[in-house]
A and B are shown apart, each in its own frame.
Chain A
């Protein structure tokens, strides 16, 4: 028979506070189960986000005992050491209410980093043959599985210190596109990520790489961007 958990949840907006609830502990319980229990049985005014519940959509990311993680994939037994949990919204993003953040800045930076595919062909032309084992495709594939959950962005100190910084996810997407033979973004995208707030602001703390639930490596992707932009700058293809 498992006891009760003492769960502190962030309530309110930016100037809110933590409120504590008592939640019965269950076998194989996830942090998302805990949050859902509070909303269904204790306080229906609690706001939070989730969708798939099985770790493929990235919607349920929150700060759990100081770390940003997917709540549906975080077992309570693993994190609630002394029966206590502290759950807050993702950091580095504006809080809408309680555990839900405004993801708009995250996606705006995605656009600024030109993490957008620029097509080169129409439906009337031959499909580009891409070998999956080509060096460029390998690099792109290693970084492509990002589902925009925001965990890396929330974990990044440089995002916290520098409001212009695009962040790991946006830059990683730009990196995958630079390695995509079909994409025409090329020099313009390199220029975008070489600007203030771009890849050169990264200090390689590697929090993003340590915490990415998809086991992606934004630090390595950003290092790749640094090499490409430096080479392009030295060749005069982009400006400072």
Chain B
């Protein structure tokens, strides 16, 4: 962990504080009102707002999770730093790809 990784880790963390709170509120609302897929998708489809919000969330989460996983690997696994770094990058890209696909799924499909 160096200053650059640290900065990205903490910055994405701070960014996600309001994003997570809103997400928890959204989930509470959706589950409480027993929303169906149709209800959800009718709100998200074509919505720039939801696309931006969740797009940003996916980007931040991918970076944050990747760096976090890198830390855990370097400290708790026998992997060398460079290998752990590479694994983390792959993991981050995987999350970003799956997340982008999910956003696409609810906004554009």
Contact = CB atoms under 8 A, between A and B. Distances in A.
Direct contact of A and B (CB under 8 A): yes
Given A230-B7, A233-B7, A200 B2 contact: yes
Interface string B58-99: 000000000000000011100001000000000000000000
B64 to A, nearest CB: 15
Interface residues of B, number: 12
A200 B75 contact: no
A201 B76 contact: no
B26 interface: no
Contact of A233 (B1, B3, B74, B75): B3
B5 A200 contact: yes
Contacts of B28: none
> Could you say which interface size class chain A belongs to?
10 to 19
Majority SS at the chain B contact face: helix
A44 to B, nearest CB: 41
B76 A196 contact: no
Contacts of B75: 158, 161-162
A195 B6 contact: no
B32 interface: no
Interface string A133-164: 00000000000000000000000001001100
Interface of A: 158, 161-162, 194-196, 198, 200-201, 226, 229-230, 233-234, 238, 240
Going nearest first, the 7 A-B pairs with the smallest beta carbon separation are A240-B4, A161-B75, A200-B6, A194-B3, A200-B1, A233-B3, A201-B1
